Amino acid sequence: MLDGYGRNINYLRLSVTDRCNLRCKYCMPADGICKKQPDELLTEDEMITAVRAAASVGITKLRITGGEPLLKKNILSLCRRAAAVGGIREVCITTNGVLLDALARPLREAGVRRVNLSIDTLDAEKYRGITRGGKLEDALRGLHAALEAGFERVKLNAVLIGGFNDCEIGDLAALTRQYPVDVRFIELMPMPDSEIFGENAYLSCDAVLQALPELLPNGASGVAQLYRLPDALGDVGLIRPVSALFCASCSRLRLTADGKLKACLHSPDERALKGLSQEEMAQQMRLCIAHKPACHAVLSAEHRSQAGRGMYQIGG
Ligand code: SAM
Ligand code: SF4
């Protein structure tokens, strides 16, 4: 369905939980989350009803996210049922990879076509620090399992943080020479729950181009500008939510685990879907698309996101 600015809204990001087994400093508060009551969250059936409603208004691509979606006990059943919904052509998942070792193959068999895996550093100590306790080896095991399970294209997401992983831009990008993966650098967004990293933490993706002058432009895919290292097996993607607003080409709706539909990541506006029938959900989705804002406000350390929620509660 087209929104009021002629954008084709065909992509739903469904956050299936706000819980996580990591506590990334840019995403979650140190003391974790305020646990929601089960009756505040969408049930599996309600999530599938929402996916059917979304398909009926023109959504063709679904990304399962969180929190950490692999913590969800019914994740395989959810993915299998979502992939079977008529009109949904692609089900993808974004995960920190920690539990992927055991789940990669079952997810592939459940109909998930693509996996995005978040790894910000290749240094085990730094990984433990940024995730507040995670083990890099678990995420790397997840990466290998994903490669072996035969997903269409594994993407690695790294949030670019000055003074933290800017010295690893070359090493992270070099993973595209070692494995058939895309590595995507994402600019740090000042979310309501992000730790204050200091004035040098935000780096525009220009830092990647400066660090790797050998990168050759290779087109664009969705919101990512693509580049390639000579002899690489995959692309280096730059995702610039801060330095280059991509609102003009935004095709997304978001649905949170507690059933709130968002037309814009950085807007506090939400519509409640919990308890609605499929047709009522579809009607809310049509209204949400019709009122999708043209653009969000410029983000900076002084002007934090107006999302009204942390990233773990929205799904990125
Ligand atoms: N737990 C999963 C993961 O980490 O991949 C899925 C949910 S996570 C919220 C989705 C994506 O959002 C991750 O790639 C993460 O790095 C990114 N993210 C979280 N907070 C962010 C922030 N403040 N700025 C930029 N990206 C952020
Ligand atoms: Fe968890 Fe993902 Fe947020 Fe890290 S980025 S705390 S893994 S939801």
All structural domains of the chain, each given as residue ranges with its CATH number in brackets, are: 11-314 (3.20.20.70)
Residue nearest to atom 2 of ligand 1 (CA): 95
Beta bridge partners of residue 67, listed in sequence order:
none
Ligand 1 contact via 134 beta carbon (within 6 Å): no
Q: Which stretches of the chain drop beneath a pLDDT of 50?
A: none
Q: From CA 225, how far away is CA 211, in angstroms rounded?
A: 16
Amino acid (1-letter code) at residue 291: H
Ligand 1 contact via 225 beta carbon (within 6 Å): no
CA 316 – ligand 2 centroid, Å:
9
CA 299 – ligand 1 centroid, Å:
16
Q: From CA 155, how far away is CA 94, in angstroms rounded?
A: 9
What pLDDT sits at residue 245?
A: 78
* pLDDT tens-digit readout, 33-92: 777 888 899 999 999 999 999 999 999 999 999 999 999 999 999 999 999 999 999 999
Q: From CA 274, how far away is CA 277, in angstroms rounded?
A: 9
From the CA of 25, the nearest ligand is 2
CA 279 – ligand 1 centroid, Å:
31
β-pairing, 260-262 vs 271-272, is antiparallel
Residue nearest to atom 5 of ligand 1 (CA): 95
What pLDDT sits at residue 158?
A: 98
Beta bridge partners of residue 197, listed in sequence order:
none
**Contact at 8 Å (CB) between 253 and 240?**
no
Residues with CB under 6 A from ligand 2: 20, 22-24, 27-28, 66-68, 96, 118, 311-312
From the CA of 131, the nearest ligand is 2
**How many helices (H) and strands (E) would you count in the chain?**
9, 12
